Amino acid sequence: MIFKLLVFAVVVFIVYTLFFKSSRGKVEQPKKKNRQNDSDTMVECVKCSVFVSEKDAIIKDGKFYCSKECAGLK
Can you give the pLDDT at residue 28? 56
* Interacting residues of 65 by C-beta distance below 8 A, sequence separation 6+: 45, 46, 47, 57, 58, 59, 71
Instruction: State the pTM of this model.
Output: 0.47
Give the residue numbers spanning the domain of 17. Answer: 2-71
CA distance 9 to 13: 6
Q: Please give the tally of structural domains in the chain.
A: 1
Can you give the pLDDT at residue 37? 54
**Cβ-contact 67, 58 below 8 angstroms:** yes
pLDDT over 80 at 24, yes or no: no
Inter-residue long-range contacts of 6-9, CB under 8 Å, 24+ positions, other chains counted: none
Per-residue pLDDT tens digits for 28-44: 555 655 555 556 899 99
22 by DSSP, 3-state: which? Answer: helix
User: What is the residue-averaged pLDDT of the chain?
Assistant: 82
